[in-house]
Chains A and B, each alone.
Chain A
Amino acid sequence: MSQPNSSHTPTLVTRDGAVLPDGWQLLNDADEASGDGPYVLGFERALRELDGLNDRCGVRIQPADDVRLLEPFLDKIALVEVAFPGFRDGRGYSTARILREDLGFTGIVRAVGDVLRDQLHHMLRCGFDEFVVKDADPAEAVAAAAKRFSVAYQGAADDRLPAWQRRLNAEAAVS
């Protein structure tokens, strides 16, 4: 028996399957900035400090945080880390879709925390582009999630057309 995937070291991987070093440094409320950054700020701290910052930074958003509060500062944000403290907590999926589809955020949306391969398909559809995933083979996990379903029934934050739209298109192509 192999060990559970969740016991593997979390690894940063992109939606294209590239495994990257994580150069971002998390600054919680009381932490002093040290080194060159770039920094990821906790949500409350980000709301307090983003206005005065010159460099673009990252924000870590917890499930209960209202992502829409970031709206005035989006041009200051390069990365949003959406935290999944437990894989059963699905609030982060709404957070990501709101960021992408409602707020039009174009920076990086990253899933962190209890991220396992079975969530990746849904995360890809909700607009995440990076994952700090626990898996024996993170790149393969993302590739498998991307091609797991050949069809989608509903529109989301990715470019897949809902099945009804594809049916309409197929009909139009025939007539």
Chain B
Amino acid sequence: MYGFAGQMIRINLKTGDIQKRLLPESFANEWLGARGMVAKILYDEVPRNADPLGRENKLIVAPGVLTGTFVAAGSKCGFGAISPATNGHADASVGGHIGPELKFAGYDLIIFEDIATEPVYLFIEDDMVELRPAKHLWGKGSLDTEKQLKDELGEDFEIATIGPAGENGVVFACITHDFGRNAGRCGVGAVMGSKKLKAIAVKGTRSIPVYDLKSLTAQTEAIIQRTKPHPNMAPWQKYGTALFVGWSNDQAAFPAKNFQSSYYEDWPSIDGERLVKECKVADKACFGCWMNCGKYSRAKVKDREVYIEGPEYETIALIGGSCAMTSIHDVAYGNYLCDNLGMDTISGGSVVAFAMECYEKDIITKEDLNGHELRWGNINDFEFLMNKIAYQEGIGKIFARGTKGAAELLGKDSIKFAMQQKGLESSGYESRWAPSMLLSFMTADIGAHHNRSWSITVDMELGRDEIKGKAPVVVYLQHIRPLFDTLSICRLFWGELDVMPSEYVESLNYVTGWKTTEEELLRTSEKIWNLTRAHYLQRNGGPGRKHDMPPARYYEEPVPNGPAKGKVLTLESVNAMLDEYYEARGWDKEGNPTAELLQDLGLDYVVKDLKKIGQLGKPLPGGIPKVRGQMLKPKAM
């Protein structure tokens, strides 16, 4: 078996039992790794009524078939679990070096089951796999834990950790690696914490078997030389994703004050230029990536000086714009707080922004905050709430549930501006004048995350006000974009440097010896999509449409300022987009997958599961579309 390291590990944390076995070839070939393997294992193994933070949930760690090989940025590692934020399938990926390291140690998949009696961490050095006591690490910050484990074990171990937020069940807790890279979304860190698993430390010294290394090397060397002079290369290397702060404002897509607006007047104080000038200390790349988008920074706030990788675009959007910060140091410091406490910066920023708006609207008061305040742009207030959340103290207990959970407790129509979908806070793109971007968020299987489909450029190309004709493109993007998370490599060479999907297919065939095609891979991606959708419906009931409705802000409140001033969607237009989307997917009008589609994708076993809960889509009069999804590659920004 080429491309895969060849082994999987199943660990029962309660008994300490560690079972190693060969990775089943048919399973690996069908699900490819990361998001694919996560989807199948969660579907098959976790009871539908399992508490996401209980013993029956599983934490899965899975790099993918291309991770660690000589391809454009084969750096990623997938983490998966049932999400405490969405109560559905969740996968989150992290770059850095731990995915490749796991494969160099010989493993493609780790499944953690049950709950340890005392805090532990997993130690892996090639064949040696053991659970070690982690009492001395429990309670420590993510970054502090990584440093301590490196001091204990050696610099050449790759480490993934959780912080206090993960230990304390904050539903948007993340898993942190490489001093500031995160498997950020969906609360995978809370699941890790619920299992009393503090960290994973890995060192591997083996090679990954590649079918045709000579051809792979020639191909990738050519891609390296071709992309070095690409016009997007230099700006990416200089600013990383922070490059897009100004662009996003120009496009009226930047979230300001909890998405009240799509234009943030103070953006020049928190953009890439400021970051590079005032905070950056080094460029930092993931494994095998020659566009090094990571900016390692030093932030000076109050009497403190802290170091962190970032802030990148999303963090600047959610902590910067959405909380209305006016200094890049404050944003970087907020980034550090989130990372060390172990919280996703997207959800973390969004939750604080939501709380600030609740404070502005008197839904929460000084009294609720023990005399503290939650003022826009105030880093002290930000820090106060972050600490309360991470340790589940006082008002923090409410906001540790995420914006949706908090809004359900707070009431007073706050759900209308809880900027999330299915319980996952939205990435940093305000979408009242970008309908296809909103549709991407509305329909994403894990909630409002931009790694599923990013389509503002589709709105630009097909018309910013246009509602119709975009859904099939969103469907295509929802297949191609997560495909990178399945192969477990970075998508940015595709998105920004014009490395074509066909080239990745070629790489995959060199690595594995397969003769697969782009069409087949997209079909696998579609299969995974439908599996996770069906899983979500089984855990949360149906019909699907009710889970796909966006926060009311998008269709009730016109944008107050900036290039999109006055723009707002309507409930009718939102529903019209869903109608077109379901049709393009081969789902029924209520957003439930049909038997014909599931059977076509080889998911026959899902048909009976959906039938059992009464959520199998009604047969479509004209049958399912033969081609689902329409290609329109987003232009690089």
Our verdict on whether A and B bind, yes or no, reads no
Could you list which residues of chain A lie within 8 angstroms of chain B, going by C-beta atoms? none
| B interface list, Cβ under 8 A from A | none
